[in-house]
Amino acid sequence: MKTKHPASEGLVALLEPFIDTVVVCTMTALTIVIANPASWGEARAGESIGGVTITSDAFETVLPWFPYVLTVAVILFAFSTVLTWGYYGLKAWTYLFGRSRTSETVYKALYTLFAIAGSLLTLQTLIDLADAVLFTLAVINIIGLYLLAPVVKRELDKFLEYVRVRKAGGSDGTGGDTDGETTKATV
């Protein structure tokens, strides 16, 4: 779906990191600290305990069935992540190399090979590899954000002006109503 105001999509996209980082992570951390599960003590003693294990043990102190729910949630998260990264990678690939059946088949074959290779690696190696790739992508993204900052500012200013005009009950300047659609006069 296309939008007339890309800045509106950007503002909505800001909600996801807020909800994920501030709300969910804070609630999980508070649960771990308050519940004080046995694995938390082991982790503080220097043993290598995963975050999912500590979270599972913390919630299990109140809800004995919670580890099963968390297991399903982690599986769904992993599956959706593989699908999402595949989709985003395909979109980037077709942008760089063109959209053709051959190009898409090459990408899908490479992605499948990497997925198989990833399943053969140890979890820590896979996490380190994913972190390195995401760091590289973040650096490229930050450079792009810096270079496109004037465009982003211009689009944000246009969107905020659109919101101000719409809130005031005026036209958005497209010759139609506030949604940008023309209305038919009734006779």
Q: What is the pLDDT of residues 24-69, one digit of tens each?
A: 889 888 888 888 887 777 766 667 777 788 888 888 888 889 889 9
Q: Which stretches of the chain score pLDDT less than 50?
A: 175-187
Question: Taking CA 17 as the corner, what is the angle to CA 13 and CA 21, rounded to the nearest 5 degrees?
Answer: 165
Q: Which two tokens stand for residue 179?
A: 């949604």
Pairwise CA distance, residues 42 & 54, whole Å: 9
pLDDT recorded at residue 102: 95
**Model pTM score:** 0.64
Contact 78, 72 (CB under 8 A): no
pLDDT at 179: 46
| Contact residues for 85 (Cβ-Cβ < 8 A; gap 6+) | none
Q: What's the rounded Cα separation, in Å, for the pair 93 and 81?
A: 18
Tokens of 24: 């969910």
* Tokens found for residue 159: 């969107």
**End-to-end CA gap in the chain:** 34
